[in-house]
Amino acid sequence: MKAAPVSPGQKFNTKNTKPLLLVIEDNPDNMTTVKAVLGPDYAIIGAADGRRGLEKAISVLPDLILLDMSLPEMDGYEVAAALKKDERTVDIPVVALTAQAMKGDRERILAAGCNDYIAKPIDPDAISKTLAKWL
Ligand code: MN
């Protein structure tokens, strides 16, 4: 799927459409949860590994990316770094989704280029509020 050409600063949601969210997550249960929680408010595209997620990010240019950090093919750190190095995707907010709760992970996630962080298990209120902050 190719996105329509978008001029700098133009958003997908200026015409009363839902913001486009790319969810890069390899765990099917988590993907189901995210779609159930966010489906009413976002148009959601999914990718189940890091490499496909990066390809989809470049091809559809979503408004926001929700990125699991533990992924096959490319992990979330590699995906975030690649997104922030590419001028096509550098301005797309990236929110990390991770079960890792060790001290220092937040710093490492932000250093990789993610804009924010959500811990698993997914809290519906927290995820909605955190994503809304970045749109
Ligand atoms: Mn994972």
pLDDT of residue 106: 84
The model's pLDDT over 62-72, given as tens digits with 9 standing for 90+, comes to 999 999 999 99
Q: What is the pTM of this model?
A: 0.86
Which residues are CB-contacts of 114 (< 8 A; sequence separation ≥ 6)?
67, 76, 80, 94, 95, 96
CA distance 112 to 46: 21
**Count of other CB atoms within 10 angstroms of residue 92:** 20
Q: Is the CB of residue 70 less than 8 Å from the CB of residue 105?
A: no
The model's pLDDT over 54-111, given as tens digits with 9 standing for 90+, comes to 999 999 999 999 999 999 999 999 999 999 999 999 999 999 998 766 667 888 899 9
Confidence check: pLDDT of 10 > 50: no
Identify how many contiguous H helices and E strands the chain contains and give both numbers: 5, 5
- Ligand 1 centre distance from Cα of residue 72 (Å): 8
- Ligand 1 centre distance from Cα of residue 86 (Å): 23
Confidence check: pLDDT of 131 > 60: yes
Mean pLDDT of 115-127: 91
- Ligand 1 centre distance from Cα of residue 65 (Å): 15
Confidence check: pLDDT of 5 > 70: no
Q: Of 94, 134, 131, 135, give the one whose Cα is nearest residue 113.
A: 94
